[in-house]
Amino acid sequence: MSELDRIDRHILNILQQDSSISNVVLADQVGLSPPACLRRVNRLREAGIIYAEVALLDPKKVGYQLNVIVEVELERDRPDLYDQFKRKVLAAEEVTQCYQVTGEVDFILVVVVPDMQAYEAFIQRVLYTEANMRKFRSLISLNRPKFETAIML
Amino acid sequence: MSELDRIDRHILNILQQDSSISNVVLADQVGLSPPACLRRVNRLREAGIIYAEVALLDPKKVGYQLNVIVEVELERDRPDLYDQFKRKVLAAEEVTQCYQVTGEVDFILVVVVPDMQAYEAFIQRVLYTEANMRKFRSLISLNRPKFETAIML
DNA sequence: CGTGAAATATGTATCGT
DNA sequence: ACGATACATATTTCACG
Protein backbone atom coordinates (compact mmCIF):
# COMPACT_ATOMS: atom_id res chain seq x y z
CA MET A 1 0.00 0.00 0.00
CA SER A 2 1.27 3.42 -0.97
CA GLU A 3 2.36 5.84 1.71
CA LEU A 4 0.71 9.24 1.76
CA ASP A 5 3.02 12.19 2.15
CA ARG A 6 2.07 15.64 3.33
CA ILE A 7 1.06 16.83 -0.14
CA ASP A 8 -1.16 13.79 -0.79
CA ARG A 9 -2.94 14.35 2.50
CA HIS A 10 -3.36 18.02 1.64
CA ILE A 11 -4.86 17.09 -1.74
CA LEU A 12 -7.23 14.57 -0.11
CA ASN A 13 -8.38 17.04 2.52
CA ILE A 14 -9.19 19.63 -0.12
CA LEU A 15 -10.97 17.23 -2.48
CA GLN A 16 -13.03 15.78 0.36
CA GLN A 17 -14.46 19.25 0.94
CA ASP A 18 -14.77 20.28 -2.71
CA SER A 19 -13.96 18.06 -5.65
CA SER A 20 -15.36 20.53 -8.19
CA ILE A 21 -12.30 22.79 -8.13
CA SER A 22 -10.11 22.74 -11.22
CA ASN A 23 -6.76 21.02 -11.18
CA VAL A 24 -4.96 24.34 -11.66
CA VAL A 25 -6.51 25.78 -8.51
CA LEU A 26 -5.78 22.60 -6.58
CA ALA A 27 -2.20 22.59 -7.81
CA ASP A 28 -1.79 26.18 -6.68
CA GLN A 29 -3.21 25.44 -3.22
CA VAL A 30 -0.85 22.55 -2.59
CA GLY A 31 2.15 24.25 -4.20
CA LEU A 32 2.71 22.06 -7.25
CA SER A 33 2.54 22.53 -11.01
CA PRO A 34 -0.75 21.36 -12.52
CA PRO A 35 0.72 18.25 -14.19
CA ALA A 36 2.49 17.13 -11.02
CA CYS A 37 -0.71 17.62 -9.07
CA LEU A 38 -2.78 15.76 -11.63
CA ARG A 39 -0.44 12.78 -11.51
CA ARG A 40 -0.94 12.55 -7.77
CA VAL A 41 -4.71 12.80 -8.01
CA ASN A 42 -4.81 10.09 -10.67
CA ARG A 43 -2.55 7.88 -8.56
CA LEU A 44 -4.89 8.32 -5.58
CA ARG A 45 -7.85 7.38 -7.77
CA GLU A 46 -6.15 4.32 -9.23
CA ALA A 47 -5.13 3.14 -5.76
CA GLY A 48 -8.79 3.30 -4.75
CA ILE A 49 -7.99 5.75 -1.97
CA ILE A 50 -10.33 8.13 -3.76
CA TYR A 51 -13.02 5.62 -4.71
CA ALA A 52 -15.67 8.07 -5.95
CA GLU A 53 -16.44 11.71 -6.58
CA VAL A 54 -20.10 12.53 -6.05
CA ALA A 55 -22.61 15.34 -5.77
CA LEU A 56 -24.40 15.56 -2.42
CA LEU A 57 -28.07 16.58 -2.44
CA ASP A 58 -30.03 18.29 0.31
CA PRO A 59 -32.51 15.52 1.24
CA LYS A 60 -35.25 17.93 2.36
CA LYS A 61 -35.06 19.88 -0.90
CA VAL A 62 -35.78 16.73 -2.88
CA GLY A 63 -38.58 15.56 -0.58
CA TYR A 64 -36.73 13.02 1.57
CA GLN A 65 -37.62 14.26 5.03
CA LEU A 66 -37.23 11.12 7.05
CA ASN A 67 -34.21 9.19 8.31
CA VAL A 68 -34.69 5.98 10.24
CA ILE A 69 -31.92 4.23 12.12
CA VAL A 70 -32.84 0.54 12.38
CA GLU A 71 -31.26 -1.85 14.87
CA VAL A 72 -31.54 -5.42 13.62
CA GLU A 73 -31.13 -8.67 15.56
CA LEU A 74 -30.94 -11.88 13.55
CA GLU A 75 -31.04 -15.48 14.74
CA ARG A 76 -27.60 -16.19 16.14
CA ASP A 77 -27.21 -19.82 15.22
CA ARG A 78 -27.27 -19.22 11.47
CA PRO A 79 -24.25 -17.10 10.56
CA ASP A 80 -24.62 -18.28 6.95
CA LEU A 81 -27.86 -16.32 6.75
CA TYR A 82 -26.03 -13.09 7.45
CA ASP A 83 -24.98 -12.97 3.81
CA GLN A 84 -28.54 -13.40 2.67
CA PHE A 85 -29.58 -10.46 4.80
CA LYS A 86 -26.68 -8.38 3.52
CA ARG A 87 -27.66 -9.03 -0.08
CA LYS A 88 -31.20 -7.94 0.61
CA VAL A 89 -29.97 -4.77 2.26
CA LEU A 90 -27.61 -4.00 -0.61
CA ALA A 91 -30.49 -4.35 -3.05
CA ALA A 92 -32.84 -2.08 -1.08
CA GLU A 93 -32.60 1.51 -2.36
CA GLU A 94 -34.01 2.92 0.88
CA VAL A 95 -31.03 1.64 2.86
CA THR A 96 -28.21 4.12 2.38
CA GLN A 97 -25.89 2.67 5.02
CA CYS A 98 -25.42 -0.68 6.73
CA TYR A 99 -23.04 -1.39 9.61
CA GLN A 100 -22.35 -4.88 10.94
CA VAL A 101 -21.87 -4.49 14.69
CA THR A 102 -20.89 -6.60 17.69
CA GLY A 103 -23.00 -7.08 20.81
CA GLU A 104 -26.72 -7.63 21.15
CA VAL A 105 -27.50 -5.91 17.89
CA ASP A 106 -26.21 -7.41 14.64
CA PHE A 107 -26.77 -4.65 12.07
CA ILE A 108 -27.49 -0.96 12.04
CA LEU A 109 -29.26 0.39 8.95
CA VAL A 110 -29.69 4.01 7.94
CA VAL A 111 -32.86 4.26 5.88
CA VAL A 112 -33.72 7.44 3.95
CA VAL A 113 -37.30 7.85 2.73
CA PRO A 114 -39.78 10.62 1.83
CA ASP A 115 -42.28 9.81 4.58
CA MET A 116 -43.70 7.21 6.98
CA GLN A 117 -45.69 5.53 4.27
CA ALA A 118 -42.51 4.80 2.35
CA TYR A 119 -40.91 3.51 5.53
CA GLU A 120 -43.82 1.16 6.20
CA ALA A 121 -43.52 -0.14 2.67
CA PHE A 122 -39.81 -0.78 3.26
CA ILE A 123 -40.49 -2.68 6.48
CA GLN A 124 -43.06 -4.87 4.79
CA ARG A 125 -40.88 -5.62 1.79
CA VAL A 126 -37.49 -6.08 3.43
CA LEU A 127 -37.74 -6.68 7.17
CA TYR A 128 -40.96 -8.65 7.72
CA THR A 129 -40.06 -11.02 4.91
CA GLU A 130 -36.72 -11.88 6.52
CA ALA A 131 -37.07 -15.39 7.99
CA ASN A 132 -33.89 -14.94 9.95
CA MET A 133 -35.12 -11.81 11.77
CA ARG A 134 -35.41 -11.99 15.56
CA LYS A 135 -36.41 -8.40 16.07
CA PHE A 136 -35.71 -4.85 15.05
CA ARG A 137 -36.11 -1.39 16.54
CA SER A 138 -36.75 1.78 14.52
CA LEU A 139 -35.36 5.12 15.67
CA ILE A 140 -37.11 7.89 13.77
CA SER A 141 -35.21 11.07 12.91
CA LEU A 142 -36.53 14.28 11.40
CA ASN A 143 -33.30 16.13 12.08
CA ARG A 144 -29.78 15.45 10.94
CA PRO A 145 -27.61 18.15 12.53
CA LYS A 146 -24.43 16.69 11.05
CA PHE A 147 -23.59 14.74 7.92
CA GLU A 148 -19.92 14.69 6.91
CA THR A 149 -18.33 12.38 4.38
CA ALA A 150 -14.79 13.63 5.00
CA ILE A 151 -12.04 11.96 7.02
CA MET A 152 -9.55 14.72 7.72
CA LEU A 153 -5.96 13.46 7.50
CA MET B 1 -39.03 25.61 -4.14
CA SER B 2 -38.16 24.82 -7.73
CA GLU B 3 -39.78 21.87 -9.46
CA LEU B 4 -37.49 19.25 -10.89
CA ASP B 5 -38.34 17.97 -14.35
CA ARG B 6 -37.26 14.69 -15.84
CA ILE B 7 -33.96 16.09 -17.14
CA ASP B 8 -33.02 17.67 -13.80
CA ARG B 9 -33.66 14.37 -12.03
CA HIS B 10 -31.57 12.59 -14.66
CA ILE B 11 -28.72 15.05 -14.12
CA LEU B 12 -28.93 14.64 -10.35
CA ASN B 13 -28.94 10.86 -10.54
CA ILE B 14 -25.84 10.87 -12.71
CA LEU B 15 -23.91 13.44 -10.65
CA GLN B 16 -24.74 11.61 -7.42
CA GLN B 17 -22.92 8.58 -8.82
CA ASP B 18 -20.07 10.44 -10.51
CA SER B 19 -19.55 14.18 -10.38
CA SER B 20 -16.16 13.98 -12.09
CA ILE B 21 -17.58 13.51 -15.58
CA SER B 22 -17.17 16.43 -17.93
CA ASN B 23 -20.11 18.63 -18.75
CA VAL B 24 -19.99 17.57 -22.40
CA VAL B 25 -20.42 13.90 -21.46
CA LEU B 26 -23.19 14.77 -19.01
CA ALA B 27 -24.92 16.90 -21.63
CA ASP B 28 -24.75 14.04 -24.09
CA GLN B 29 -26.17 11.54 -21.60
CA VAL B 30 -29.18 13.71 -20.79
CA GLY B 31 -29.69 14.83 -24.39
CA LEU B 32 -28.86 18.53 -24.13
CA SER B 33 -26.21 20.84 -25.54
CA PRO B 34 -23.34 21.50 -23.10
CA PRO B 35 -24.34 25.10 -22.31
CA ALA B 36 -27.96 24.15 -21.64
CA CYS B 37 -26.80 21.35 -19.37
CA LEU B 38 -24.37 23.57 -17.52
CA ARG B 39 -27.06 26.17 -16.93
CA ARG B 40 -29.20 23.49 -15.25
CA VAL B 41 -26.34 22.21 -13.11
CA ASN B 42 -25.52 25.73 -11.95
CA ARG B 43 -29.19 26.36 -11.19
CA LEU B 44 -29.27 23.18 -9.08
CA ARG B 45 -26.15 24.32 -7.24
CA GLU B 46 -27.47 27.82 -6.59
CA ALA B 47 -30.76 26.41 -5.29
CA GLY B 48 -28.75 24.35 -2.79
CA ILE B 49 -30.22 21.13 -4.15
CA ILE B 50 -26.65 20.15 -4.96
CA TYR B 51 -25.01 21.45 -1.80
CA ALA B 52 -21.54 19.95 -2.28
CA GLU B 53 -19.36 17.92 -4.60
CA VAL B 54 -16.84 15.81 -2.75
CA ALA B 55 -14.29 13.03 -3.10
CA LEU B 56 -15.06 9.89 -1.07
CA LEU B 57 -12.12 8.04 0.49
CA ASP B 58 -11.88 4.37 1.34
CA PRO B 59 -11.65 4.56 5.16
CA LYS B 60 -9.62 1.36 5.49
CA LYS B 61 -7.04 2.56 2.96
CA VAL B 62 -6.37 5.65 5.02
CA GLY B 63 -6.23 3.80 8.33
CA TYR B 64 -9.73 4.45 9.66
CA GLN B 65 -10.85 0.91 10.43
CA LEU B 66 -13.44 1.52 13.07
CA ASN B 67 -17.00 2.82 12.98
CA VAL B 68 -18.94 3.25 16.18
CA ILE B 69 -22.67 3.92 16.32
CA VAL B 70 -23.42 5.68 19.60
CA GLU B 71 -26.89 5.89 21.13
CA VAL B 72 -27.12 8.86 23.45
CA GLU B 73 -29.71 9.61 26.15
CA LEU B 74 -29.69 13.07 27.69
CA GLU B 75 -31.56 14.39 30.72
CA ARG B 76 -35.11 14.98 29.57
CA ASP B 77 -36.03 18.00 31.62
CA ARG B 78 -33.43 20.28 30.03
CA PRO B 79 -34.28 20.68 26.36
CA ASP B 80 -32.17 23.84 26.27
CA LEU B 81 -29.10 21.69 26.80
CA TYR B 82 -29.76 19.84 23.57
CA ASP B 83 -28.21 22.72 21.68
CA GLN B 84 -25.13 22.60 23.84
CA PHE B 85 -24.72 18.93 23.05
CA LYS B 86 -25.27 19.55 19.34
CA ARG B 87 -22.57 22.20 19.28
CA LYS B 88 -20.12 19.83 20.92
CA VAL B 89 -20.95 17.13 18.40
CA LEU B 90 -20.57 19.51 15.46
CA ALA B 91 -17.13 20.49 16.73
CA ALA B 92 -15.94 16.90 17.20
CA GLU B 93 -14.10 15.70 14.07
CA GLU B 94 -14.64 12.05 14.97
CA VAL B 95 -18.41 12.43 14.66
CA THR B 96 -19.28 12.20 10.99
CA GLN B 97 -23.04 11.99 11.41
CA CYS B 98 -25.56 12.97 14.06
CA TYR B 99 -29.28 12.15 14.01
CA GLN B 100 -31.76 13.56 16.51
CA VAL B 101 -34.31 10.80 17.12
CA THR B 102 -37.58 10.29 18.96
CA GLY B 103 -38.18 7.62 21.60
CA GLU B 104 -35.96 6.46 24.45
CA VAL B 105 -32.79 7.48 22.66
CA ASP B 106 -32.19 11.15 21.90
CA PHE B 107 -29.26 11.12 19.47
CA ILE B 108 -27.49 8.64 17.24
CA LEU B 109 -23.88 9.43 16.39
CA VAL B 110 -21.73 7.79 13.75
CA VAL B 111 -18.12 8.04 14.89
CA VAL B 112 -15.23 7.18 12.53
CA VAL B 113 -11.81 6.59 14.09
CA PRO B 114 -8.56 4.70 13.36
CA ASP B 115 -8.80 2.37 16.38
CA MET B 116 -10.17 1.77 19.86
CA GLN B 117 -7.65 4.06 21.45
CA ALA B 118 -8.92 6.97 19.37
CA TYR B 119 -12.47 6.03 20.32
CA GLU B 120 -11.64 5.99 24.02
CA ALA B 121 -10.08 9.42 23.65
CA PHE B 122 -13.27 10.64 21.98
CA ILE B 123 -15.44 9.27 24.78
CA GLN B 124 -13.31 10.96 27.41
CA ARG B 125 -13.22 14.29 25.65
CA VAL B 126 -16.80 14.54 24.37
CA LEU B 127 -19.14 12.16 26.16
CA TYR B 128 -17.89 11.88 29.76
CA THR B 129 -17.57 15.64 30.00
CA GLU B 130 -21.23 16.15 29.06
CA ALA B 131 -23.05 17.13 32.25
CA ASN B 132 -26.38 16.51 30.59
CA MET B 133 -25.57 12.90 29.69
CA ARG B 134 -27.80 10.21 31.18
CA LYS B 135 -26.20 7.29 29.42
CA PHE B 136 -24.87 6.10 26.10
CA ARG B 137 -24.35 2.77 24.34
CA SER B 138 -21.58 2.06 21.82
CA LEU B 139 -22.13 -0.34 18.94
CA ILE B 140 -18.79 -1.26 17.45
CA SER B 141 -18.51 -1.95 13.72
CA LEU B 142 -15.56 -3.27 11.77
CA ASN B 143 -17.65 -3.80 8.66
CA ARG B 144 -19.66 -1.38 6.59
CA PRO B 145 -21.27 -3.45 3.81
CA LYS B 146 -23.08 -0.42 2.40
CA PHE B 147 -22.39 3.29 2.29
CA GLU B 148 -24.35 5.29 -0.27
CA THR B 149 -24.67 9.04 -0.42
CA ALA B 150 -27.13 9.05 -3.33
CA ILE B 151 -30.89 9.54 -3.21
CA MET B 152 -32.16 8.18 -6.52
CA LEU B 153 -34.97 10.34 -7.92
C1' DC C 1 -32.31 25.84 -25.99
C1' DG C 2 -28.65 25.66 -29.64
C1' DT C 3 -24.54 27.39 -32.32
C1' DG C 4 -20.03 29.07 -32.73
C1' DA C 5 -16.00 31.42 -30.84
C1' DA C 6 -12.98 32.94 -27.03
C1' DA C 7 -11.00 31.80 -22.69
C1' DT C 8 -9.49 27.96 -19.55
C1' DA C 9 -8.34 23.65 -18.32
C1' DT C 10 -6.50 19.07 -19.03
C1' DG C 11 -3.19 15.91 -20.63
C1' DT C 12 1.30 14.60 -22.98
C1' DA C 13 6.08 14.86 -24.04
C1' DT C 14 10.33 16.14 -22.69
C1' DC C 15 13.79 17.85 -19.86
C1' DG C 16 16.03 18.82 -15.46
C1' DT C 17 16.92 17.84 -10.52
C1' DA D 1 11.45 9.00 -8.83
C1' DC D 2 9.42 13.47 -8.97
C1' DG D 3 8.56 18.05 -10.52
C1' DA D 4 8.54 21.98 -14.13
C1' DT D 5 7.95 23.90 -18.68
C1' DA D 6 5.94 24.06 -23.15
C1' DC D 7 2.84 22.44 -26.33
C1' DA D 8 -1.41 20.06 -28.16
C1' DT D 9 -6.01 18.69 -27.25
C1' DA D 10 -10.36 19.21 -24.94
C1' DT D 11 -13.63 21.60 -22.19
C1' DT D 12 -15.97 25.42 -20.23
C1' DT D 13 -18.27 29.58 -20.86
C1' DC D 14 -19.98 33.72 -23.15
C1' DA D 15 -22.61 36.29 -26.74
C1' DC D 16 -26.09 35.92 -29.84
C1' DG D 17 -29.93 34.01 -32.57
Shortest distance between the Cα of B105 and any Cα of chain A, in A, equals 8
Do B52 and A57 form a contact (C-beta atoms < 8 A)?
no
Q: Are A61 and B53 in contact (CB < 8 Å)?
A: no
Do A37 and A53 form a contact (C-beta atoms < 8 A)?
no
- Percentage of chain A lying above the pLDDT 90 cut: 91
Name the average pLDDT for chain B: 96
The pLDDT tens digits for B54-75 are: 999 999 999 999 999 999 999 9
Q: Are B48 and A61 in contact (CB < 8 Å)?
A: yes
Predicted pLDDT of residue B144 = 97
Contacts of A49 in chain B (CB under 8 A): 57-58, 61-62
> Is the pLDDT confidence value at A2 over 80?
no
- Percentage of chain B lying above the pLDDT 70 cut: 99
Q: What are phi and psi of A99, to 5 degrees?
A: -120, 130
Average pLDDT of A35-60?
Answer: 98
- The strand pairing partners of A67, in sequence order, are A112, A141
Name the average pLDDT for chain A: 96
Predicted pLDDT of residue A25 = 98
Distance CA A83, CA A93 (A): 17
Residue A1 banded pLDDT, cuts 50, 70, 90: low
Residue B135 banded pLDDT, cuts 50, 70, 90: very high
Residue B1 banded pLDDT, cuts 50, 70, 90: low
What radius of gyration, in Å, describes the C-alpha atoms of chain A?
20
Selection from A129, A93, A85 nearest residue A111 by Cα: A93
Average pLDDT of B96-107?
Answer: 96
Predicted pLDDT of residue A80 = 83
Query: Residue A140 CA to C5 C1' — how many Å?
Result: 55
* Segment (H or E) for B41: helix B34-46
Q: Apex CA B73: angle with CA B69 and CA B76, to 5°?
A: 155
Query: Residue A30 CA to D9 C1' — how many Å?
Result: 25
The pLDDT tens digits for A81-136 are: 889 999 999 999 999 999 999 999 999 999 999 999 999 999 999 999 998 999 99
**Quick count: other Cβ atoms within 10 Å of Cβ A143?**
12
- Give the list of residues 6+ apart from residue A104 with CB closer than 8 angstroms, or none: A73
Contacts of A22 in chain B (CB under 8 A): none
Predicted pLDDT of residue A17 = 98
Distance CA A101, CA A73 (A): 10
Predicted pLDDT of residue B89 = 97
Angular region, B63: left φ>0, alpha ψ -120 to 50, beta rest: left
Distance CA B91, CA A40 (A): 30
Predicted pLDDT of residue B77 = 74
Contacts of B147 in chain A (CB under 8 A): 96-98
This prediction's pTM: 0.95
Query: Residue B29 CA to D11 C1' — how many Å?
Result: 16
**Quick count: other Cβ atoms within 10 Å of Cβ A89?**
22
Predicted pLDDT of residue B81 = 84
The pLDDT tens digits for B26-59 are: 999 999 999 999 999 999 999 999 999 999 999 9
Predicted pLDDT of residue A69 = 98
DSSP secondary structure string for all residues of B76-105 = TT-TTHHHHHHHHHHH-TTEEEEEEESSS-
Average pLDDT of B97-106?
Answer: 96
